[in-house]
Amino acid sequence: MEGYFKSANGKNNIHYIVWEVENPLAVVQIVHGMSEHIARYDDFAKFLNKKGYLVIGHDHLGHGLSVESKEDLGYFGEGDTVQYLIQDIKKVNEMTQNYKVPHYILGHSMGSFLARIYIHKYKVDRAIIMGTGHFTKFQGKSLIRLAKLIARFKGQRYRAKILGYVTTGRLAKKIVGGKFDWISKSARNVKDFIADPLSGFDFTANGYITLGGILFKMASLESKRSKFKDTPCLFISGGDDPLGLGGYGVKKVLEDYRKRSWKDTDMVLVKDLRHEVLNEDDKRSYDICYEFFEKKPYKILEAQEIEEP
């Protein structure tokens, strides 16, 4: 089932998808990443459907079918865009509250940053933080300042190459291959991503101001203790994901959470995989996610060594 709801900004219509099952055992809410859209999770959602889970997710502001034209891709609009993004996630969560079953959240990449904010503010039963990285308030504020400077002279909708480079562009430099080979070892997945008109677009200056705001808000909340620190969290990333610095950055996030008394936390690095672990040809991550949701021991074929960058 697909539909639309009014964004928390009161202007945009937000597109969402529900992968339904009868009498679900649990609900999984997926929060997608930067420059992609929720329909890319169709295969994983159908895998969870077969396990008895209802799956729901939406296209963020400036993404997917939540835009009126392709010129709006990567543009979040006016106002407190970070707050609007979080409130839209909450609206989607509320759509399934009539099901008296466990509610889980899975956030990938930029969606992992939003999920990290969300679990500090609202209760969920379990959380998977996927394809994430370690960022400070200073890094978030620096991105905001640079993007605002560019927006001042070029406009909010200007797409500056320098902003792309200091964020995702530098990640591509760490992997031999093309612009998007860093996202996946799967040639099929990279090819599909490039061919998808709703994926791989450049953010506007406005988009990077929002991304910097997300990072700043996330780091600010994570510097304090949360009343929801009992939420079980699994941090899962590809062992060769440059965003997570080959696991080093993910480990730093895990350590920060444990310092703030998040006791029920764990980390899995799927050896040799890159950023989009769900879209690799190797589907180990599917089983790992399901086993975490089911509170079962998740199986890793080989340990991933972590080296300091």
- Cβ(202)–Cβ(70) under 8 Å? no
Two tokens, residue 297: 């021991």
Indicate whether 272 belongs to any domain.
yes
pLDDT digits (tens, 9 = 90+) for 145-170: 999 999 999 999 999 989 988 887 66
pLDDT digits (tens, 9 = 90+) for 245-293: 888 899 999 999 999 999 899 999 988 899 999 999 989 899 999 999 9
What lies within 8 Å, CB to CB, of 309 at 6+ separation is 245, 246, 248
Two tokens, residue 238: 């590809």
Indicate whether 246 belongs to any domain.
yes
pLDDT digits (tens, 9 = 90+) for 73-108: 999 999 999 999 999 999 999 999 999 999 999 999
pLDDT digits (tens, 9 = 90+) for 120-147: 999 999 999 999 999 999 999 999 999 9
- Cβ(16)–Cβ(56) under 8 Å? yes
Indicate whether 301 belongs to any domain.
no
Two tokens, residue 116: 């990290």
Per-residue confidence band for 299, with pLDDT thresholds at 50, 70 and 90: low
Residue 198 has pLDDT above 80, yes or no: yes
Nearest alpha-carbon partner for 32 in 131, 116, 110: 110
Residue 302 has pLDDT above 70, yes or no: no
The CATH number that applies at residue 118 is 3.40.50.1820
Separation between Cα atoms, residue 143 and residue 163, nearest integer Å: 8
- Cβ(232)–Cβ(264) under 8 Å? yes
- Cβ(14)–Cβ(6) under 8 Å? yes
Predicted structure pTM score = 0.95
DSSP secondary structure, the chain, as one string: -EEEEE-TTSSPEEEEEEE--SS-SEEEEEE--TT--GGGGHHHHHHHHHTTEEEEEEPPTTSGGGSSSGGGTT---SS-HHHHHHHHHHHHHHTTTTS-S-EEEEEETHHHHHHHHHHHHS--SEEEEES-----HHHHHHHHHHHHHHHHHH-TT---HHHHIIIIIHHHTTSSSSTTGGG-S-HHHHHHHHH-TTSSPPPPHHHHHHHHHHHHHHHHHHTS--TTTTS-EEEEEETT-GGGGGGHHHHHHHHHHHHTT--SEEEEEETT--S-GGGSS--HHHHHHHHHHTTPPPP-SSPPP----
Cβ-based neighbour number of residue 122 at 10 Å: 14
Indicate whether 99 belongs to any domain.
yes
Per-residue confidence band for 306, with pLDDT thresholds at 50, 70 and 90: low
pLDDT at 172: 63
The amino acid present at 122, given as its one-letter code, is Y
- Cβ(273)–Cβ(285) under 8 Å? yes
Residue 217 has pLDDT above 70, yes or no: yes
Residue 231 has pLDDT above 80, yes or no: yes
Indicate whether 197 belongs to any domain.
yes
pLDDT at 307: 59
Indicate whether 73 belongs to any domain.
yes
Indicate whether 266 belongs to any domain.
yes
pLDDT at 297: 67
The amino acid present at 119, given as its one-letter code, is I
Strands 233-238 and 265-270: what pairing? Answer: parallel
The total domain count for the chain is 1
Separation between Cα atoms, residue 88 and residue 57, nearest integer Å: 10
Indicate whether 298 belongs to any domain.
no
* Domain around 156: 2-293
